[in-house]
Structure 1
Amino acid sequence: MTHTLYGDDAEPVERVPAGRLCVPVRPVAHGCAARLFRTPPGGRTAVAFTTPGGLRAVLGPDQPWIALAEPALRALVRPLGVEALTVDPTLTAAASSAAAPMGADTTGAVPVACVPASLSAR
């Protein structure tokens, strides 16, 4: 049996987001800069969303963003030493019916999927 490569293969060899990605940005002196985040283990990552609605759902309706293709985003953050790209992340928190009291042990909490790098460095 021979293996043929067609565009409709069930398991494509390379899983790369195609098309426009919505990249969260922050204002800087001469325009904007891509926001970098940290993964739960602490690594730096660029973040992008496949839809504006997905970005708003995770980062809020006021989060500014720009449209970039995946290769352009990687080229933008590579000089900063960032190799990871997280597409469509979700924020997670511990399931709870009430807020934990002050001083309560929260070590069992599920980590946040992506934390802004500027906040996690504190």
Structure 2
Amino acid sequence: MDDLHSPSDSEPAEPGPAARGALYVPVRLGSAGGRYLRFLRTPLGHRTAVGFSSAERLGDVLGAQQPWVRLGEPALRALAAPLGVTILTVDPQLTAPATRSGPQPAAHPMPAPWFSVTGIHSYVD
């Protein structure tokens, strides 16, 4: 394995993605025993490859039972690019809605006599 700095070098090499270490990348297990990259979505709905700096961070977000592999950033990008995934997110945080601690709404609320549109949403790619 190559070191970043060997005794014969006069100056250490500039740290690149490999110097930061491999990422812990979540995968899905296939029926034939293969492993497939697991992609997530950004808050705007775009697919993103994800990597975590530690197995603990991966477990905190996706659960301790989530299978993973170690990949360098260039390898992860190279595997995701043919699938049209160009965004890489490192150490994403869980973005679930906050739980309510107050009284819960009725199970069957009364229907409103009318509906109002408060905004229009369109997605343009």
How high is the TM-score relative to the length of structure 2?
0.64
Q: Give the conservation status (yes or no) of the 8 Å contact 1:58–1:91.
A: yes
User: Using the alignment, how far apart are the partners of 1:74 and 1:91 within structure 2?
Assistant: 22
Gaps of 5+ in 1: 1-5, 8-13, 105-122
User: Using the alignment, how far apart are the partners of 1:41 and 1:21 within structure 2?
Assistant: 24
One-letter amino acid of the structure 2 residue matched with residue 54 of structure 1: R
Q: Which residue of 2 aligns with 1:75?
A: 78
2:36 is aligned with 1:33:
yes
Distance 1:88 1:16, change over 3 A: farther
Deviations 1:4-52 (A, max 9, x none): xx98xxxxxx899821100000011341001011111110100110000
2:94 is aligned with 1:86:
no
Gaps of 5+ in 2: 1-10, 110-125
Which one has a bigger Cα radius of gyration? Answer: 2
**For 1:1-122, what aligned pairs fall within 5 Å after superposition?**
18-28=20-30, 29-98=32-101, 101=105
User: Using the alignment, how far apart are the partners of 1:42 and 1:91 within structure 2?
Assistant: 15
How high is the TM-score relative to the length of structure 1?
0.65
Q: Cα RMSD over matched residues?
A: 3.1
One-letter amino acid of the structure 2 residue matched with residue 31 of structure 1: G
User: Using the alignment, how far apart are the partners of 2:35 and 2:81 within structure 1?
Assistant: 17
Bigger mean CA deviation after superposition, 95-104 or 29-38: 95-104
Q: Give the conservation status (yes or no) of the 8 Å contact 1:23–1:68.
A: yes
One-letter amino acid of the structure 1 residue matched with residue 45 of structure 2: G
Higher relative contact order (CA 8 A, sep 6+): 1
User: Using the alignment, how far apart are the partners of 2:53 and 2:59 within structure 1?
Assistant: 11
